[in-house]
Structure 1
Amino acid sequence: MTDPARRTSLVVTLVGGVAFVALAAWLVPWHPVPGGMPAPVPASSVFTPSQIDRAEDFSRWARVWSWGSLAVSLGVAAWFGFTRRGAGLARRMPGPWWVRTVLLVAALAVIGRVVTLPFAVALRVHVRDYGLSHQSWAGFAYDLVVGQLVLVVTTSLGLLLVMACARRWRRRWPAVAGGLLAVLVLAGSYVYPVLVEPLFNHFTPLPDGTLRTQILRLADEEHVHVDDVLVADASRRTTTLNAYVSGFGDTRRVVVYDNLVDDLPEDEALSVVAHEIGHARHNDVLTGSALGAAGAVFGVGLLGLLVGTQRRGRRGGVGDPATVPLLLALVALGTLLSSPVENGISRQIETRADVAALEATHDPDAFVAMQEQLSLRALADPTPPAWSQFWFGSHPTTLQRIAIAEAK
């Protein structure tokens, strides 16, 4: 790499890292519970011994299949990315550089899915055996295919943007690519609810009734603009209960699962929605998007330092399609290593939304009952391994959330 390009990469890495830390310090609620986080309540005070055993047994094997899939996918990515196999695969791809890039992304995505398919099938069988899903195998296959297509499209867009910048601006490309990728992340958060979510679920407006009235009243009381309240036909895929808020601006909407509406009393369903309105009140989607944009800038600068820039007349560097397997391997490894940071931030944001829900509804009993039902329907491990919760846990545990409610 030329010295100017290396200096630019270093500056971009520092700018992205400092921006991420500054945004996290400013926007993330590091002390979301007034008076401090209470100790989790004992599992035996919430669930029966048989319920605990069933949840632990389910979660134990779910972790085996999930972590096995993760290990194999990382191994395959490393095999192609850190050996000559990836470059050999790249040489077999026809067409100009951008076509080769897309073909490589698609090929590696398909290979990764094929080698991890036994784990996905084993997990699906496990989920069906425990009654958490009644989805047909055809529906399962559809979700896998559509998910892979979305992965190929989004990954290709990001790579093409970065590689095009590296080929056009050989000295300043990390700055240009980092800025453009940050904009792409923000734009993706805006259009995702409109373009991607409908590929997996069918949405209909929540019918007029007391629940819709209470949701809109609650949003109005919390000074939250919600574009719509939608019901997702999630019961065709899962028996678990959930709701979420997505988008921002005029794409912001609260989405509730149909089985949440059908199976929970209205006060408990409203408690779930109040949690989501808490996210909207604090602009948590925008916070996550801003942090993701800063992380993208940091990642581009780091790629420039690790991989370098393609030189004229020579192979190698970020602008060369032959480096695509290496870039994907580095992204996969970086995603895993950054998971504790990402999920640690997520847990703080989710905790604040819990506190907001309790303050908005003034009904801790409904909140506790709702948490019990969500945990039982999802067979969530009440006491997951500490390191697993630290690395992969995006939400507080059920026992922590109930402790927060009981402290109110």
Structure 2
Amino acid sequence: MRKWLTGAVLGYFLYGLFVYWYIYMGGPDSIPEQFKGTSADPGTFMNSRELLLSGEYSRLRNFMYFITVPYEWFILLNVLLTGLSRKMEQWSDSIAKPDFLKTSIYLFWLSLIVTVCVLPVEWINYRISLSYQITTQSTTGWMKDQVIDFWVNFLLMALLVSVLFWLIRKYQKRWWLIAWTLSIPFSLFLMFIQPVVIDPLYNDFYPLENKELEEKILALADKADIPAEHVYEVNMSEKTNALNAYVTGIGSNSRIVLWDTTLNRLKEDEILFIMAHEMGHYVMKHIYVGIAGYLLLTLAGLYAIDKLSSAVIRNWGSILKIDSKKQIAALPLILILIGALTFASDPLTNTVSRYQEKSADMYAIQLTNNKEAAVSSFQELSKAGLSQVHPPFLIKLFRYSHPTILERILYLEEYHAEEQLKESQD
């Protein structure tokens, strides 16, 4: 056990050194020389203070992200190696008879341990964001969200873990396939209720108050053949200065949502471009493509977890204090594998997402035919979130679900140049 703990600490330390070196010294983040002075150059739309803060904040945020991800795995590994997972299993067995109650008791204590260990890191992230004026949320509001997160995640996990371990015990060889089959209606159900049940736990949503703007957005939706009746806004200014808009939900609960920070900071034509971008996602059915991709990855992931967990327990089960994946004590191992596989798949899912975002950008510029508004909206997004215009390669690979601001502006410039060439030829 001491060797494993020493190895885990050393590995985590070396990983942290590499991350620090890459973010602060190794990965170049300045834009290429040929784009200096263009509309994609942050020097043309950010002042010197914004440029300095953007670099500082982006590096800090990226460093904390890459450090935090394996930190949670490290906590779970310690729960296994110290025998704490086995002891919590025995304790839950001694005070409850039904499997669901046993699982819930075990999961509560595991969730509490992880939350307590991760909370200081989350607090640091919050304070960093607050110091750079990205977050505007009060400490009380932040703590309230942490409590809501804990209970929402615990209740969902209690249901999922109970079903998962019941399947593992009853269908040892095919549990992963049955679990995946059951995940399809459950995932669709969650996506259906999220806009009306889960999201309102954190923020207030209401129809867009600016009716004149709503009419223009709905006219744009009609032009795109989208049957929309309302656009929603959400009071994110209580929590952040960043800008955003998104499409959420499926079926009759699907919504186009605008953050009120976006409404307050952007001009009308910039908002219309962003709305056209979200409509592009709807028209090209990116939500359903995303669901299909998620389900395929879930199938591959569950199969991999079945094989990997069996191999780990077979070879190192005595060190991890677990005998079989049927035990609830094996849950930390399964969570480590889920986390590692998710992290490893991020480059793939982000690549697909960036392709969809580019497609939505192209759709929006065709729908609005307003390049200036498109470019200025991207510039404002970068300034409001203090995001890097041209991040290092690995940062983009693992963290960017959207094309970089440099890429998005260059796409629009190229499209505009091509359209002007076609017009001149005609």
Partner residue in 2 for 1:6: none
Conserved? CA contact 1:346–1:395, under 8 Å: yes
Output aligned runs, 1:341-380, within 5 Å.
Answer: 341-380=348-387
2:99 paired residue number: 97
Instruction: From 382, 392, 395, give the equivalent of 2:389.
Output: 382
- What secondary structure does 2:246 align onto? strand
Which structure exhibits the higher relative contact order, with contacts defined as CA atoms closer than 8 Å and separated by 6 or more residues?
1
Report which stretch shifted further, 165-174 or 272-281: 165-174
CA displacement at 1:51 relative to structure 2 = 2.5
Is the 2:353–2:402 contact (alpha carbons within 8 Å) kept by the matching residues of 1?
yes
Contact persistence 1:81–1:328 (CA under 8 A): no
* Map of 1:326 onto structure 2: 333
Q: For 1:174 and 1:73, how far apart are their aligned partners in 2?
A: 24
Query: Is the partner of 1:92 in helix, strand or coil?
Result: helix
Q: Structure 1, residues 110-134: CA drift from partner, whole Å, max 9, x if none? A: 2222212222212212212222222
2:72 is equivalent to residue 73 of structure 1: yes
SS at match of 2:231: strand
Look up the match of 1:291. 293
> Are the aligned partners of 2:40 and 2:405 in contact in 1 as well (CA < 8 Å)?
no
- Larger deviation: 57-66 or 253-262? 57-66
Residue number in structure 1 paired with 2:57: 58
1:150-189 pair list within 5 angstroms = 150-189=152-191
8 A contact 2:243–2:262 mirrored in 1? yes
How far off is 1:227 after superposition?
5.4
What amino acid is the match of 2:58?
Answer: S
Aligned counterpart in structure 2 of residue 235 of structure 1, from 234, 237, 255: 237
Matched, 1:106 2:108: yes
Q: Is the 8 A contact 1:234 1:259 kept in 2?
A: yes
CA RMSD of aligned residues (A): 2.3
User: Which residue number in structure 2 is paired with residue 124 of structure 1?
Assistant: 126
Q: CA deviation at 1:63?
A: 2.2
Kindly provide the CA deviation profile for residues 334-355 of structure 1, in whole angstroms up to 9, marking residues without a partner as x. Answer: 2211111121211111111111
**Cα-to-partner distance string for 1:250-308 (whole Å, 9 max, x where unaligned):** 01110101121122211111111111111111121221112112222222222222335
Evaluate the alpha carbon distance shift between residue 254 and residue 324 of structure 1 in structure 2; reply closer, same or farther with a 3 A threshold: same
Give me the whole-angstrom Cα distance separating, in 1, the residues matched to 2:170 and 2:369: 57
Q: Is the 8 A contact 1:40 1:400 kept in 2?
A: no
Matches within 5 A, 1:273-312: 273-308=275-310
Residue 34 of structure 2 is matched in structure 1 by none
Q: Which residue of 2 aligns with 1:224?
A: 226
Listed as ranges, the gaps of 5+ residues in structure 2 are 1-37, 314-321, 416-426
Q: Residues 356 and 135 (structure 1 numbering): CA distance in 2 closer, same or farther, change over 3 Å?
A: same
Which SS does the other structure have where 1:231 is aligned? strand
Give the distance between the partners of 1:185 and 1:278, measured in 2 at CA: 23
Once the 2 structures are TM-superposed, how far is the Cα of residue 140 of structure 1 from its aligned partner?
Answer: 0.3
1:400 equivalent to 2:426? Answer: no
Deviations 1:88-113 (A, max 9, x none): 33222242332222233332222222
Paired-residue identity, %: 26
In the alignment, residue 359 of structure 1 is paired with which amino acid? Q
Report which of the two structures shows the higher radius of gyration computed on alpha carbons.
Answer: 2
Closer/same/farther in 2, CA of residues 355 and 103 from structure 1, 3 Å limit: farther
Return structure 1 stretches of 4+ with deviation > 6 angstroms: none
Structure 2 partner of 1:14: none
TM-score of the superposed pair, with normalisation by structure 1: 0.83
Amino acid at match of 2:279: I
One-letter amino acid of the counterpart of residue 245, structure 1: V
Gaps of 5+ in 1: 1-38
Q: Quick check: 1:161–1:181 contact (8 Å CA) kept in 2?
A: no
Which whole-Å CA distance do the structure 2 matches of 1:316 and 1:303 have between them? 16
Deviations for 1:310-362, whole angstroms, at most 9, x for unmatched residues?
Answer: 9xxxx844432122122112112222111111212111111111111111111
* 1:140-189 deviation line (CA, Å, top 9, x unaligned): 00111111222222233322222222233344333222211233222222
The separation in 1 between residues aligned to 2:85 and 2:39, in whole angstroms, is 47
SS in 2 for 1:225: coil
Contact 2:76/2:336 (8 A) holds in 1: yes
Q: Using a 3 Å threshold, how does the CA distance of structure 1 residues 178 and 316 change in structure 2: closer, same or farther?
A: farther
What's the TM-score once normalised by structure 2's chain length?
A: 0.80
Contact persistence 1:278–1:356 (CA under 8 A)? yes
| Contact 2:233–2:260, Cα closer than 8 Å, also in 1 | yes
Give the counterpart letter for 1:379 in structure 2: L
Tell whether the 8 Å contact from 1:181 to 1:297 is kept in structure 2 after alignment. Answer: no
Structure 1 Cα separation of the partners of residues 67 and 174 of structure 2? 40
CA contact (8 A) 1:55 1:382 kept: no
Report what 1:263 is aligned to.
Answer: 265
Q: Shift in Å at residue 394 of structure 1? A: 1.2
